[in-house]
Amino acid sequence: MNYHKIIRILQKIGLKFYRLGNQYDKSEKSDYEHECIGICKSLIKDERTKLMMSPISRKRYLNSHDKQIFIIIENYTMIIVNHQYSYTIDLPSKSYIRITSMFDEEMEKRRLAMEREIKSNVKHSLKNIYQNLVNEKV
């Protein structure tokens, strides 16, 4: 046997053990989980939704623009709260990773937009300062 075949066999065995250990990922999504993920995705896509993330705990927070729905995402769990009810939904790792990466991408997009706005204000201010200095010398 050559080296490549041995590596491939070991990889296949490793994948089988990995899949056996992650049975939770193979389970079908419950109706609640499907609806919960849908709510979260639509709030993330809405530019009026406030997004916040705690850098220490890695918790992610969403607050709808009308302040009727609050979502907390942490440790493979999503908590949806409105003014009457609270729902706690356990997420499989695949769904959790998908939602958190979607959240992180949107947060990064908003951060870049804010940074561009800040830098454009600085350039505008520098132009004004320069023009004021030039006008004073004349």
Alpha helices in the chain (DSSP H): 3-21, 23-26, 31-45, 93-137
Residue pLDDT, tens place only, 62-104: 999 888 999 999 999 999 998 888 989 998 888 899 999 999 9
Question: What is the pLDDT, as a whole number, of residue 16?
Answer: 81
11-30 per-position pLDDT tens digit: 888 888 887 776 555 555 56
Q: At what angle do helices 31-45 and 93-137 cross, to 10 degrees?
A: 10
